[in-house]
Structure 1
Amino acid sequence: MPSACSSDSVNDSRQPGSPRAGEAIDRWRRLLGAEGVDGPEAAQQRYGACTTGLSRRIAGALRPASRDEIVELLAIARECARPLYPISTGRNWGYGTALPVIDDCTIVDLSGLGAIRTIDADLGLFEVEPGVTQGALHQYLQTRKLPFMVPTTGAGPDASLLGNALERGYGITPTADHFAAVTRIEAVLADGRVYRPALSELGAELADHAFKWGLGPYLDGLFTQSGFGIVTSMTLALARRPEVVEAFYFAVPDAGAFEDVAMAVRGTLQDLGSVAGSVNLMNRHRVLSMTAPYDHSCVGSDGLLTDAAVADMGRRYRVDPWMGMGALYGPRDVVAAARKLVRRRLARPTRRLVFMTGGRARVLESISRRALGRSHGIPAMLSRIRSSLDILEGRPDRVAHGLLYWRRGGADLSTVTDPARAGVGLLWYAPLVPFKPDLMARYVRTCTQVLRAHSMEPLITLSTLSDRCVDSSVPLLFDPAVPGDVERAHRCYDALVEAGRELGCMPYRLHVGAMAGFTRSDQTFWDLAARVDSALDPGRILSPGRYAPVSGR
């Protein structure tokens, strides 16, 4: 596997200084106006910052405002042989931010396409364009008093819904798998044609929005984790806001009981089905990164907090070796019955099992602030619980950003909204782990060993995608300003991938520097992906290298 820090360039005819590059920029400016086009220097300044520590040479940037403009700018790209890299809002932090996979691409910034359309409120069907963020959809629903939940993620209110779904991202609201909520996609192909599913072509528009699988081969999925087209809209089937959303929190005092707790969580999900949302299991380090200041005076010779320091912080902040969080959704009587089942399943292997609603958390936070002051630990803890409940209830929040600034002394998340611009170093390692408690325990041990070997604090979360599979999210935090830190982080990522491969646990998505290492193989899967790409885009102008081999290698 090649180094994740490497980059591939396209052939010389596509370099930014080639004659056709200048011609393309001039023609795009006539199409979009001067304010809608950046040359290389301006594009580098606007889009070049990235939490991964990677850099790419950016040939320019385009900001269309409509699908028709996308069709026209693609025609220019084809004629001038200019590779394009579409982004939704460019907030793919930890995976590449706004960077293309390879050098010398022109970014197509789709954040200007921000329309939300109610297809059918009775059916909970809403169409969104690439620039629609979690916060924008929440505001849209609130303003119109529509009783639906935003499919939130930890990325927060400024991140694109469409971009996350196309990466097959997930959250912890009732529809954890965000692409599962996508019922219909429209896209512009490399040749300028507009893709619409078969039912729409036949005039059955509402049926097309309402039924995910449509008629004939299922092609919508081809546009996820690929460069097969520029997706201009998707329909989301939103979860209706239930009568009750009740979170539950629990602690695991003995790390040796991890497998028993995992088994109990799996049994809970099997029993409750859709009443239970995703459950998060977080190790002590991960919870402390969101609740306690980083104590640089307690760092050992390996550059990490000592075990004694972590144990002491755990006692002071009441953070056990593992902590868990989940949620129940439904009518009041259904949630009450589910609460009893959760107690029965989790009472023995856990402690401090607490159930909390958003209203109760807000009241307790207000009372504790008046009694103890804002700076006291208890109001701060209740504030974080209230923020986590907001996310569980489908209200976007930046609370998860806190861990990114842990070693830097924290940040005001109301004003520091872009980790890349703030100079944060972040890579996400996100492997899929089959829901087998013994395998999960081996994964945790292996992951911890690899992280420590590379002087990375082991911040580990396991999020249930179903009762069959979990995803682990592991942030690799580093300082891009420190010489050698970027390379260390990428070596750690590569080592985690190899160690996970031996366990059968591989990432469900990749950062832009890792894609080449997965797609260089001669496996039938990647060969077929390359053939589909070549058939749709023979000039290879759309997202070269994105989950596909780069032409000519």
Structure 2
Amino acid sequence: MNPRPSSALEKALAEAERLLGPERVVRADARSSELLGPNTSMFRSRRLAAVLRPERAEQVGPLVALFDRDADSAGLHAISTGRNWGLGSFQPAQDDSVVLDLGGLDRVRSFDLAAGWAVIEPGVTQGELSQLLADTPRMLNVTVSAAATSVLGNALDRGVGLRGQRTEDLAGLEVVLPDGESVRVGWWPDEHRSAPVYPHGLGPSLLPLFTQSNLGVVTAAVIRLPVRPEALRVVRLAFARPALGEAVTAIRRWVAQGLTRGVPRIFDPLAGGAYGGGQDEFLAHLPVDGTAEAVEALTGLLVAEARRSGLFTRVSSGADDTSAGAEPAELVDLIERGYAGDPDLADRLFEAKMGVPADQLDTRAGFVFFLPLLPLTGEALTEADRLIRQAVETTGARAAATSHLLGPDLVDCVVAIKFPREQAAAERAHRLLDLLHESFAAAGFAPYRLDIEHTGWRDAFAGDPGALALTRRLKAVLDPRQAIAPGRYH
């Protein structure tokens, strides 16, 4: 049962109904823990006070201000499309929050293909924006998640696309502060003057304050749009587990010397199954792009070096590759189109990996994420593979790991833990998640994103206690009544 709402909360919700209309304010009742439905991770459903659904960005400032008047009026947990799958979906970190659902803010306000930017709201999905950019010189840095996921929500939580970390795509943010004031930080288009896209400005840069942040509510962003390559191909390599360290060392050299661009990926045997991998082999995808002549030359160099190394059991390139063991042309086409900015609007690869359509993930599938950062060395990836297998053997759950190579020194490791949607399997998966947090922390590998059950781990990985204290001083100054996202990256 919900506790009786405070008078401050009742007053704020009543005013929210006058501002939005009663149909856009969903109040809690005895079943409020399921007010937004189940979540795919089967984390405990938080007790909610209400859900607010504004339809225009201009409504957000007055809404936020309502909850800044009194500390007893509950904190606001903002979501974009609510598809923060594997980390809690739409769930807040703490009980008794009011969910601020920004999915109705779904406009692409403006874009400039020559300068390479678009101004978008939180409800804009990667499928929608990529369709708008189809057949243009610009593209979107897409992820391998579903087409209906939010571009902005993922970027603000430092998600990773196939062209790089999406935080780097953010050039400017429109942010509502706890008192309701709307400010724009970073770079923003100005019809009265022309200036190159440069997010840092003069003086202290404020934009990074609002990524993985509970200092404000973002209502729009300037997203950078990369130039679409003239040609693109993905070289695919397979290798056995004993060769992992040497294979990673070779691939790191190719990344460092510019033979592959974008975000190369390495899949462990379980993760590689959806991409045509064999039962006991790792896969690597190395994207090559540029002019047609450059792609032809670089592909030839990579293929020659891979074969000469003797490390790889399969080396293939291009959808027309007919060599033994090459993946089906349709699969290769989907892989290459993703690197070229097409998020697969039909979600064929996503559904093949998850086993259910995207719109049924929260109700039919079990899924959690563990997301550590690793140095790009053969030793580090070999140790990570050992730790994952050890935790799997201990718990009996299953985990599939994909390494995203963010340059020659850094790996974003995505460990996906899928499980049947029943309680015993969920408990095993959650235990596996706990063990991975513990064992990777002991090895010095910190996570770069946290699920709603592990928000307290931020303290453990603070590089400098003084820096952590500074962020909390900023929170106390900007949001003394904890109006926004209490408990989330606190």
**TM-score, L = length of structure 2:** 0.91
Q: 1:356/1:198 Cα in 2 relative to 1: closer, same or farther (>3 Å)?
A: closer
| 1:106 match: secondary structure | strand
Q: Corresponding residue for 2:267?
A: 282
Partner amino acid, structure 1, of 2:425: D
Match of 2:151 in 1: 161
- Tell me the equivalent position of 2:418: 477
Distance across 1 between alignment mates of 2:451 and 2:187: 35
- 1:322-357 CA deviation, whole Å, 9 max, x = no partner? 111121111111112211321233222213211115
- Residue of structure 1 in register with 2:336 after alignment: 389
SS of the equivalent of 1:65 reads: coil
d(CA) in 2 for partners of 1:503 and 1:164?
27
Does the 8 Å CA contact 1:266/1:435 hold for their aligned counterparts? yes
In 2, the alpha carbon distance for the partners of 1:58 and 1:402 equals: 30
Match of 1:140 among 115, 132, 135: 132
Instruction: Find the partner of 1:49 among 30, 35, 38.
Output: 38
CA distance in 1, matches of 2:4, 2:331: 47
How far did 1:204 drift?
7.8
1:260 partner amino acid: E
Give 2:459's match in structure 1, choosing from 499, 505, 519.
519
Q: 1:434 to 1:89 in 2, by over 3 A?
A: same
> What's the CA shift string for 1:517-548, capped at 9, x where partnerless?
43388933322221111111011010001101
Counterpart of 2:482 in structure 1 is 540
Structure 1 CA distance for aligned equivalents of residues 173 and 6 of structure 2:
35
Aligned to 1:108: 100
Q: Is 1:343–2:303 an aligned residue pair?
A: yes
Aligned residue for 2:25?
37
Paired with 2:256 and 2:189, the residues of 1 have a C-alpha distance of 40
Partner letter of residue 389 of structure 1? E
Change beyond 3 A, Cα 1:43–1:136: farther
Unaligned segments of structure 2, at least 5 residues = none
- Quick one: which of 225, 230, 247 aligns to 1:261? 247
Correspondence for 2:350 among 401, 415, 423: 401
Residues 71-470 of structure 1 mapped to structure 2, 5 A cutoff? 71-80=61-70, 81-142=73-134, 145-173=135-163, 176-197=164-185, 206-207=194-195, 210-252=197-239, 254-272=240-258, 276-288=261-273, 290=274, 318-347=278-307, 348=309, 349-357=311-319, 360=320, 381-397=328-344, 398-402=347-351, 405=354, 410-411=355-356, 413=357, 416-422=358-364, 424-470=365-411
Q: Residue in 2 aligned with 1:7?
A: none
Q: 1:263 to 1:515 in 2, by over 3 A?
A: same
C-alpha distance after superposition, 1:347-386 (max 9, x if no partner): 22213211115xx59xx9xxxxxxxxxxxxx999443333
Alpha-carbon distance between aligned partners in 2 of 1:350 and 1:339, rounded to the nearest angstrom: 16
Contact 2:187–2:197 (Cα < 8 Å) also in 1:
no
Superposition TM-score, scaled by structure 1 size: 0.81
Task: Give yes or no for the alignment of 1:498 onto 2:438.
Answer: yes
Offset of residue 444 of structure 1: 0.9
Q: 2:12: which partner in 1?
A: 24
Taking a change above 3 Å as real, the CA distance of residues 474 and 387 of structure 1, as seen in their structure-2 partners, is same
Partner residue in 2 for 1:60 = 50
Distance 1:65 1:481, change over 3 A: same
**Aligned equivalents of 2:367, 2:409: Cα separation in 1:** 29
Give me the whole-angstrom Cα distance separating, in 1, the residues matched to 2:421 and 2:411. Answer: 30
Aligned sequence identity (%): 28
1:423-457 CA-partner distances (Å, limit 9, x unpaired): x1111011101012112111211221112211122
Q: Of residues 410, 429, 441 in structure 2, which corresponds to 1:489? A: 429
Question: Matched residues in 1 for 2:136 and 2:214: separation?
Answer: 34
How far apart are residue 212 of structure 1 and its match?
1.8
Aligned residue pair count: 477
For residues 278 and 416 of structure 2, the distance between their equivalents in structure 1, rounded to whole angstroms, comes to 23
Assess if the C-alpha contact under 8 Å between 1:198 and 1:215 holds in 2.
Answer: no
CA–CA separation in structure 2 for the residues paired with 1:400 and 1:202: 40
Assess if the C-alpha contact under 8 Å between 1:268 and 1:345 holds in 2: no
Shift of 1:158: 0.3
User: Aligned-pair distance for 1:120?
Assistant: 2.4
1:110–1:284: structure 2 CA closer, same or farther, 3 Å change rule? same
Deviates more, 1:463-472 or 1:521-530: 521-530
Q: Which amino acid aligns with 2:293?
A: D
Alignment RMSD, CA only?
2.6
| Structure with the higher helix share, 1 or 2 | 1
